[in-house]
């Protein structure tokens, strides 16, 4: 199989508008973890279909690729559903609970489980191609670039595997669990971990260029915009880091409400959007960190927001879903699902798919 050279693929990622995508094949949508989907999600969506996993819970997020929705469950099963109808295509039983959001690349589905395995399946049939064992649970959603798979493990190692064979190319040791999904900047990987460091290292050999202490445990995934990375911490801050110099640019902290950030940020029009365990969704100025607007809810935000056109789509842990104008935070739609929510929305072709903690999967869009 022929692959695009790494440097050419990175250029394509940088210069191809994210709005051209009709799929949502990765957690946070793209290599930069932008949280940006194509425009077209309606302001007043309706339920197009729903699917229930029997006696199972969902904490991971769905991805959408090639007309199929792939979504994990705590029973250890990965489900493949038809994107148009919600009909089940196949299931695959992993070794343990699956919280890792899948990634789909060149007809292969990659995801991790709590036993510590990274699985690679045929996307059409669900047949196992290979699996790789780590010494800790794998919650990190893998990033697949060119012919390598990158992910972190709770064994405190960050891995690069050969996409075709699953053989290890290299690993980098950190000082704590790695929960988050890596982002790509040029030909480098950006990973923030539970040891409180943001690290930048080369994708080809894993050579670390710098590490920066961000003041606390990090569970959410870093967002990259131009040469800056943005990430929330469990020490109640949102941090902006210059990836060229390795120096912090700004740190935001609410003056009164001191709560952690589990949610991963999204970006649009010079604004960073992130939900907190203070029950607030907020927009920050990407250049300065100044707070631009907030939305208060009755429950914390662990789910990560997604941008579609001029809308910001998100949900709180009580299962209440929202769509708001991201320019000013004006809410245009709310929906009570009646179940808990940990996973994040996946938006493609004007439709959103999201899984709930009671095992239900919803698809919203325009009828």
Give the global pTM.
Answer: 0.93
Return the C-alpha torsion angle 243, 246, 252, 253, nearest 10.
140
Q: Taking Cα atoms as reference points, which of 110, 112, 118, 127 lies closest to residue 25? A: 110
The stretches in the chain having pLDDT less than 50 are 1-20
What pLDDT is stored for residue 216 in this prediction? 87
What pLDDT is stored for residue 21 in this prediction? 55
For residue 36, the tally of other CB atoms under 10 A from its CB is: 23
CB within 8 Å of 212: residues ≥ 6 apart: 197, 198, 199, 241, 246, 247, 248
What pLDDT is stored for residue 7 in this prediction? 44
What pLDDT is stored for residue 257 in this prediction? 86
Residues 98, 110: contact at Cβ < 8 Å?
no
What pLDDT is stored for residue 22 in this prediction? 76
In three state form, how does the secondary structure of the chain look? CCCCCHHHHHHHHHHCCHHHCCCECCCCCCCCCCCEECCCCCCCCEEEEEEECCCCCCCCCCEEECCEEEEECCCCEEEEEECCCCCEEEEEECCCCCCCCCEEECCEEEEECCCCEEEEEECCCCCEEEEEECCCCCCCCCEEECCEEEEECCCCEEEEEECCCCCEEEEEECCCCCCCCCEEECCEEEEECCCCEEEEEECCCCCEEEEEECCCCCCCCCEEECCEEEEECCCCCEEEEECCCCCEEEEECCCCCCCCCCCCCEEECCEEEEECCCCEEEEEECCCCCEEEEEECCCCCCCCCEEECCEEEEECCCCEEEEEECCCCCEEEEEECCCCCCCCCEEECCEEEEECCCCEEEEEECC
What pLDDT is stored for residue 305 in this prediction? 98
Residues 161, 148: contact at Cβ < 8 Å?
yes
**What sign does the dihedral 270-234-319-363 (CA atoms) show?**
positive
Q: Name 320's bridge partners.
A: 336
What confidence tens digit (pLDDT) does each residue in 38-85 have?
999 999 999 999 999 987 899 999 999 999 999 999 999 999 999 999
Structural domains in the chain plus CATH codes:
24-365 (2.130.10.10)
């Amino acid at each position: 199989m022929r692959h695009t050279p790494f440097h050419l693929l990175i250029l394509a990622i940088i210069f191809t508008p994210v709005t051209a995508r009709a799929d949502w094949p990765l957690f946070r949508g793209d290599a930069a973890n932008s949280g940006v989907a194509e425009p077209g999600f309606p302001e007043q969506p309706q339920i197009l279909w729903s699917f229930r996993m029997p006696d199972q819970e969902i904490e991971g997020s769905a991805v959408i690729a090639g007309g199929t929705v792939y979504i994990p469950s705590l029973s250890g099963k990965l489900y493949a559903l038809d994107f148009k109808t919600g009909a089940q295509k196949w299931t695959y039983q992993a070794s343990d609970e699956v919280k890792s959001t899948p990634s789909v690349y060149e007809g292969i589905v990659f995801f991790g489980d709590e036993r510590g395995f990274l699985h690679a399946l045929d996307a059409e049939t669900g047949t196992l191609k290979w699996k790789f064992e780590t010494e800790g649970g794998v919650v990190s959603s893998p990033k697949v670039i060119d012919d390598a798979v990158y992910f972190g493990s709770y064994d405190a190692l960050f891995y690069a595997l050969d996409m075709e064979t699953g053989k290890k190319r290299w690993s980098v040791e950190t000082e704590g669990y790695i929960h988050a999904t890596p982002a790509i900047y040029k030909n480098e990987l950006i990973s923030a971990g539970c040891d409180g460091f943001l690290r930048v290292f080369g994708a080809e050999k894993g050579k670390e260029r710098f590490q920066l202490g961000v003041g606390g445990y990090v569970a959410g995934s870093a967002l990259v915009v131009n040469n800056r990375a943005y990430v929330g911490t469990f020490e109640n801050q949102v941090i902006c880091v210059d990836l060229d110099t390795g120096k912090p640019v700004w740190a935001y902290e609410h003056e009164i409400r001191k709560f952690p950030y589990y949610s991963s940020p999204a970006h649009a029009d010079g604004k960073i959007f992130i939900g907190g365990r203070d029950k607030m969704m907020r927009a920050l100025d990407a250049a300065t960190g100044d707070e631009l607007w907030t939305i208060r809810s009755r429950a914390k935000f662990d789910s990560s927001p997604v941008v579609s056109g001029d809308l910001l789509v998100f949900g709180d842990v009580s299962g209440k879903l929202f769509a708001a104008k991201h320019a000013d935070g004006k809410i245009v739609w709310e929906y009570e699902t009646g179940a808990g929510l940990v996973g994040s929305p996946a938006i493609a072709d004007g439709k959103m798919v999201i899984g709930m903690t009671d095992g239900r999967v919803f698809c919203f869009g325009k009828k």
